[in-house]
């Protein structure tokens, strides 16, 4: 196991990476046992430490209980198995880095032309801050040139419509904008990777359904508070349409939680100074409400996500 980074499943958390020396020390101190789930660079799936040849010396290996009866935290709480780990997502955005990167992204986006490059730069930092059960070292592998054709095509079209001065065409540009967001979602999902290897995910929701959700949000705003429940249902719809994995992505957040947290975030943004704190707080809560479960169990149970204070 020379030179590899190791990860250990402990309770409902994924610990690591550990260097070879640190990992050997964990074994020596008994923190890694034969029935502990571990993963290292180059391994396809999580495995029991006792199943990896040469990892545990005979003198260190405790008696192994039958797999069905092992009460270890990795199997009971996190479900690391060949079918894929289940559990809630987690994230940690370092505050100062979050502030300056978000500021650069927002200000740079005002100049329109740099947006594709800024978007890729921001996502390549943002995505690794998210932790997904069973998918160590999450990353974003998209390139700006993949976005350039349809992004600048939409920009040129918007300029042409503005020059024509047609109110009807200006209204139709809203549909183009919605389609642009839909393409962004498909592009972002397809370019997620773990340990540098593409996850092979795709977004199967249709552009017309996505447009319908946008219209529903507009209508729900008239009810003052109904938009929060629409956003909750919309997020569940988007999660349901993420394909290419043996696990389903689910969203545990409720409309009421989105409502009060959204209002706090809006008030914080109006006051200007609290913007970095409230936006980061809301983003980390939102991500914590996402979870992955075995696909055949997604309709039967919801993984309880950690509640932010």
**Grouped pLDDT means (10 residues each) for the chain, 309 residues:** 72 74 82 81 75 67 40 36 66 96 97 97 97 90 95 95 91 94 97 90 96 96 95 97 89 96 97 97 96 66 41
Q: How do the domains of the chain map onto residue ranges?
A: 6-48, 90-295
Q: For 219-256, what is the HEC assignment?
A: HHHCCCCHHHHHHHHHHHHHHHCEECCCEEEEECCCHH
Q: What is the pLDDT of residue 122?
A: 98
CB 131 within 8 A of CB 88: no
Query: What is the per-residue DSSP string for 45-73?
Result: S-EEGGGSTTTS-TTT-PPPPPGGG---H
What residues contact residue 156 under an 8 Å CB cut-off, 6+ apart?
Answer: none
Other beta carbons within 10 angstroms of residue 272's beta carbon come to 7
Q: What is the pLDDT of residue 275?
A: 97
Backbone Cα Rg of the chain: 23
Q: Which residue in 174, 260, 176 sits closest to 217, CA to CA?
A: 174
Q: What is the pLDDT of residue 28?
A: 81
């Amino acid at each position: 196991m020379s030179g590899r980074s190791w990860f250990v499943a402990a309770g409902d958390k994924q610990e690591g990476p550990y260097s070879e020396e640190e990992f050997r020390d964990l074994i020596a101190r008994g923190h890694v046992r034969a029935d502990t789930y571990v993963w290292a660079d180059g391994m396809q799936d999580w495995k029991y430490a006792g199943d990896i040849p040469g990892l545990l010396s005979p003198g260190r290996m405790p008696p192994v209980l039958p797999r069905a009866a092992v009460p270890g935290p990795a199997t009971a709480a996190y479900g690391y198995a060949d079918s894929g780990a289940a559990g809630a997502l987690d994230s940690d955005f370092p505050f100062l880095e979050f502030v300056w990167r978000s500021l650069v992204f927002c200000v740079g986006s005002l100049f329109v032309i740099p947006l594709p490059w800024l978007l890729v730069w921001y996502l390549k930092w943002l995505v690794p801050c998210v932790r997904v059960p069973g998918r160590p070292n999450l990353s974003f592998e998209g390139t700006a040139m993949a976005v350039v054709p349809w992004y600048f095509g939409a920009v040129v079209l918007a300029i042409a419509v503005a020059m024509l001065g047609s109110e009807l065409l200006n209204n139709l540009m809203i549909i183009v904008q919605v389609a642009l967001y839909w393409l962004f979602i498909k592009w972002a999902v397809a370019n997620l990777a773990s340990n540098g290897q593409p996850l092979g995910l795709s977004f199967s929701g249709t552009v017309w359904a996505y447009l319908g959700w946008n219209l529903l949000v507009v209508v729900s705003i008239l009810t003052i508070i109904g938009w929060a429940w629409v956003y909750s249902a919309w997020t569940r719809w988007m999660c349901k349409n993420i394909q290419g994995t043996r696990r389903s992505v689910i969203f545990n957040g409720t409309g009421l939680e989105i409502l009060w947290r959204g209002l706090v975030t809006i008030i914080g943004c109006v006051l200007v100074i609290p913007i970095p704190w409230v936006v980061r707080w809301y983003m980390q809560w939102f991500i914590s409400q996402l979870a992955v479960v075995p696909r055949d169990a997604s309709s039967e149970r919801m993984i309880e996500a950690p509640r932010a204070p």
